[in-house]
Amino acid sequence: MCGFVLFDTQLIIEKAENGDQDYIWHCIDLFLDFITLFRKLMMILAMNEKPLPLLRQPTCREEELGLAEDANFRSPLSHQWT
């Protein structure tokens, strides 16, 4: 991915040396390279993210017996990150 940025930068330098003064298009090229880099990085980070464990809701009988306070019935939002 970084190769795209380096390649486009070198291409912009060569174009500028040959008289191409289209700065707007050159900026758009580099901007798109950085957007692609950012998206790929986010995809890599998302793949490494640990999913939250699936938690089930207590049944009426478990609530009657007072078992609803068990750790297996915690809300995913109350999960303590350690």
Question: For residue 7, is it within any domain?
Answer: yes
Residue 50 DSSP label: P
Number of domains comprising the chain: 1
80 in any annotated domain = no
Per-residue CA distances from 23 to 20, 27, 40, 46 (Å): 8, 6, 26, 35
Residue found under tokens 């990150």: 81
Residue count of the chain = 82
Per-residue model confidence as pLDDT tens digits over 15-36: 999 998 898 999 999 999 999 9
* pLDDT reported for residue 69: 63
Q: Are 36 and 3 in contact, with CB atoms under 8 Å apart?
A: no
Q: Tell me whether residue 63 is in a domain.
A: yes
pLDDT digits (tens, 9 = 90+) for 51-80: 666 666 767 776 677 765 654 555 555 555
Question: What pLDDT was estimated at residue 78?
Answer: 52
What pTM, to 2 d.p., does this model score?
Answer: 0.54
Q: What is the span of the domain harbouring residue 49?
A: 2-75
- The pair of structure tokens assigned to 68 is 């609803």
How high is the pLDDT of residue 4? 81
Whether 46 has a pLDDT exceeding 90, the answer reads: no
